[in-house]
Structure formats: structure tokens, C-alpha cells
Amino acid sequence: MATIERTPKFEQRSGLRWLWVAMIIFMIDYLSKMLVMGTMAANGSTPIAVLPFMNLYYVHNTGAAFSFLSTEGGWQRWLFALIAIVVCGFLSYQMRQASITKTAHNIGCALIIGGALGNLFDRIHYGFVIDFLDFYYKTHHFAIFNVADVAIFCGVLLYLLSSRKKLTTA
């Protein structure tokens, strides 16, 4: 006689229940950008030293990471918006398929979605992304970015780590 293995009801719940993380990231990103826009001048203000390795410096980024394609004529705005929408849809689908107990996977997806939505809002509403976090070492400055970018980076790390764990246990 075959035995039927039952999955506890909690584990049957969808990972979409983690989307609250995406909403929190979106709100933190939005509020931080509103604060920067309300208190600093864009593209030329004097940097505000926050830490020995970080300034606040407000810029408009019409490109993607590291200002990729920022010198193009404006078509890239819609390309990056489309990419954000597709990524959010794909990751939402993955969260829906995943159990609520797949914490690292679901939080990784939610961080990416929250960050992507934050930058998508900027692209659609302003035509550019608001960046203001300037990390540096001595005279070497990294790209200027925002809270959404930090969330995307952390989300990708979690996503990859959770994917790697799945591959090694399969």
C-alpha cells in the first residue's frame, strides 16, 4: 500500500505573503528620495558628509546601474521600465510557486521587487532615477545610488544564495 506524504498546511501557503517586504522597501526608498529632493539641489550641490566613507550627493540618473545608457536620447527610460515590470512579474510568479517557508528565496525576491518598483516609479514619474548615496574610499568614488539599488543588490545576493542551496541539495 502506498503511503501519502502530507505537507503541513502552513508550508502550502504561497511565498507571496512576503510581498509586505517589497512594500516596506518601496516606502523607505520613496521617503528617502522625497527627503533628498526637498533638501538638496540636484546635479551640482555640495556633497554632505555622513560617514568617513559616505556622502549624500543628489543626482538624476537617466540610465541604469553605473549610469549605463544615460547619454541616450530617452528611449532607455522605457526599456528599463519594461525590464522592471518583467522582472517583478517573473519574481512574483516564483514567489507564488514557492512555499512561504522558503524565507531567503522569498525575501530575496521581495527585496528585488521593492527596489525595482521604487526605481520604476521614478522613471515613469520623473523620467530619471533619483540617486544620492555616494560611497568612496580616499579619492575613489563608487557609483551614486539609492535605497532601491541597495535592496536590489541584497535581494540578488539572497536569491542567488537560496538558488545555490537548492542546486546543492538536489
**CA proximity to 26, closest of 151, 156, 114, 132:** 114
Q: Report yes or no: 153 and 119 within 8 Å, Cβ to Cβ.
A: no
What lies within 8 Å, CB to CB, of 34 at 6+ separation is none
Q: Is-catalytic flag, 134?
A: no
Q: Global pTM?
A: 0.82
Q: Which of 29, 122, 131, 134 is catalytic?
A: 131
Per-domain residue ranges for the chain?
21-38+54-169
Q: Which of 29, 122, 134, 149 is catalytic?
A: 149
**Whole-angstrom Cα distance, residue 82 to residue 119?**
12
Q: Is-catalytic flag, 131?
A: yes
Confidence at residue 14, expressed as pLDDT on a 0 to 100 scale? 83
pLDDT digit string (tens) for 120-163?
999 999 988 999 999 999 888 888 899 999 999 999 999 999 88
Calculate ∠ Cα 146-43-78, nearest 5°.
60
